[in-house]
Amino acid sequence: MASATFKKLCFVSVVALLAFCVSGGFSQGRVSLVAGNQTTTDEKLPNGGGKCINDVDCGGVGHGVCHNGACLCYDAYTNITCEYKRCSQLTAFLLSFFLSSFGVGRFYLGLILSAVFQLLLLICVNVFGCVSKAAEKKPVKVVLALLSLMCSTAIIAWWIADLVLTGTNKILDGEGVHPLNNL
């Protein structure tokens, strides 16, 4: 009886966490911006459009070019004057693949709050696991072991969600910009 209830609880937790991650989690909502003659509907920072006289006004050498008095950013840079360097999708994916339970992929993307929650989940797994082994009473051991298992399940679900989000480039960084698509 308790086993079936625990499985249902784990399943609901995983589904809720996946829905949370796919919906954007703690990232801020998308807004539409108009910069010069360019509009972006899925990012907070426009891709160029700032007024310029020469290429240096567009973030410096290698960030973008000045075309007809407006900045046009290279792929790796974005915002009105091409000064914001976008995160790499490949780096975010690899960090999520290997170090997701520590929140490293989300720290890299600037998603600090959700990265801290990932780290806290990992700490909870270890604390509940260690305390359950040291507990004297059987009911306490079982409850702590179940809590550790639930946190482990959440970590795995979040890991899968991060792989899907970074692999498909559906995640936004801390500035609301998609990582540079180089996967």
Q: Which domain holds residue 119?
A: 2-29+87-167
Give residue for tokens 């625990």: 6
Return averaged pLDDT per consecutive 10 residues of the chain, 183 residues in all: 53 48 39 34 57 87 88 88 91 95 95 95 92 88 92 95 95 92 88
How much is the pLDDT for 30? 30
How much is the pLDDT for 162? 96
Where is 180: in which H helix or E strand?
none
How much is the pLDDT for 104? 95
93 and 58 together in one domain: no
Distance from C-alpha of 45 to C-alpha of 64, rounded to nearest angstrom: 15
Beta-carbon neighbour count of residue 123 at 10 Å? 11
112 and 146 together in one domain: yes
How much is the pLDDT for 13? 52
Distance from C-alpha of 118 to C-alpha of 4, rounded to nearest angstrom: 26
Provide the domain count of the chain: 2
70 and 148 together in one domain: no
How much is the pLDDT for 21? 45
CB distance 76 to 60 below 8 Å: no
67 and 149 together in one domain: no
